[in-house]
Amino acid sequence: MEWQAPAIVLDARPLGESGAVVSLLTEAHGRHAGLARAGTSRAQASLWQRGNLVEVRWVARLPDQLGSLTGELVHPAAALAMEDPLALALLSAACAVADGALPEREAHPRSFQGLLSLIARLPGGAAPLLPDYIRWEAELLAELGYGLDLGRCAVTGGTEDLVWVSPRTGRAVSAAAGEPWAARLLPLPGLLLGQGGAVGPSGPAEWLAGLRLTGHFLGKDAFGHQHKPLPAARERLFDRVAALAGADPVPAERGSDA
């Protein structure tokens, strides 16, 4: 058994003195692990850094074995993001979310393409990518079967003035219909409305609302169903954006559960 494909490094855990069990995201094979011999050695440690795009070759005798990995660096995303705290937080959060939420060896090409696009554009600055990152998380939720229904109001069926989301059902609620329960609903940022991000410019307050919204459903559904908390890297991204917005950082999973 063997395959070769471009892959994004999601995690590399040391094994023994110099080996590493590497978790990757590929387009055709989904999240896939493998053993990189000497993966933590001086020669290879920089290759298996989280976020790097690597041309990977996986070989195993049987398909259900862990298999061994060799790779060649295509895009050093980790090295390029290290100087910028927000870029590094975004890269770490995306890899941690994909690694924790996506099932192993199940192809999710849209999640791969979305993450690839984020990584490719990261050297240009992390802040303009935050709306796309939030949309990528919403897309990931949809791919996992926990999609948000933001097209129409859950109460009136209207499509106008949608400003809230029910934290229980993930359905949008209009301003008028949601007013009596405003304290228990999650704000719906405009960046999650419209097609392909065809909305106006957004700022830290909107990004924070978006991260709180997707973080709530990632924590409740994608991670909650596995009895796992949201990854610490995702929380650190939230805290960093909260600092940008000048808000008190409140972990996303502490949202209302109405």
Partner 1 sequence: MIEHDPVEHLIGLLAKLPGLGRRSARRAVLRMLMQPEQAMLPLAAALRDAAAAVRRCRLCGNLDARDPCGICRDPNRDHGVICVVEGVAELWALERAHAHRGLYHVLGGTLSALGGIGPEDLAVQPLLARIAEGGVEEVILALPATVDGATTAHYLTDRLKPAGVPVTRLAQGVPMGGALDVLDEGTLAAALKARRAV
Q: Which two tokens stand for residue 14?
A: 């040391």
- Which residues, 6 or more positions from 213, have their beta carbon under 8 angstroms from its beta carbon? 134, 148, 165, 186, 187, 188, 189, 192
What contacts 165, CB < 8 A, 6 or more positions away? 148, 150, 171, 172, 173, 185, 186, 187, 188, 213
Give the range of 24-32, 40-48, 61-69, 149-157 binding partner 1 by CB under 8 A. 40-48
The CB-of-88 to partner 1 minimum distance in angstroms stands at 6
From 57, 76, 190, 244, residue interacting with partner 1 (rule: CB under 8 A): 76
Contact between 49 and partner 1 per CB under 8 A: yes
Q: Name 200's Cβ contacts closer than 8 Å, sequence gap at least 6.
A: 190
> Restricting to residues 89-118, which ones interact with partner 1 according to CB under 8 A?
89, 91-92, 96, 99
Q: How far apart are CA 184 and CA 13, in angstroms?
A: 40
Q: Are 23 and 33 in contact (CB under 8 A)?
A: yes
Q: Toward partner 1, which CB reaches closer, 130 or 163?
A: 130
Shortest distance in whole angstroms from residue 79 CB to partner 1: 4
- Indicate which single residue of 13, 121, 168, 225 sits in contact with partner 1 (rule: CB under 8 A): 13
Distance CA 131, CA 192 (A): 8
Which is nearer to partner 1, 88 or 172 (by Cβ)?
88
Longest dimension (CA), the chain: 61
Q: Does 17 bind partner 1 (CB under 8 A)?
A: yes
Nearer to partner 1, 11 or 137 (CB): 11
Among positions 4, 46, 113, 169, the unique one binding partner 1 when judged by CB under 8 A: 46
Distance, CA of 71 to CA of 32 (rounded, Å): 14
* Residue 214 binds partner 1 (CB under 8 A): no
Q: If binding is defined by CB under 8 A, does position 120 make contact with partner 1?
A: no
Stated length of the chain:
258
Interaction between residue 80 and partner 1 (CB under 8 A): yes
- The nearest distance, CB 143 to partner 1, in angstroms, is 21
Considering the complex, state which of residue 90 and residue 163 has its C-beta at the smaller distance from partner 1.
Answer: 90
The footprint of partner 1 on this chain (CB under 8 A) covers a number of residues equal to 31
- What is the spatial distance between Cα 198 and Cα 170, in angstroms, rounded to a whole number? 22
Closest distance between partner 1 and the C-beta of residue 16, in Å? 10
To which residue do tokens 């003195």 refer? 17
- Round to whole Å and give the CA distance between 59 and 140: 28
CB of 94 to partner 1, least distance (A): 11
Structure tokens at 238: 């939230």
Between 165 and 230, CB nearer to partner 1: 230
User: Which tokens belong to 68?
Assistant: 């061994």
Contacting positions for partner 1 (CB under 8 A): 11, 13, 17, 43, 45-47, 49-52, 73, 76, 78-80, 82-83, 85, 88-89, 91-92, 96, 99, 231-234, 236, 243
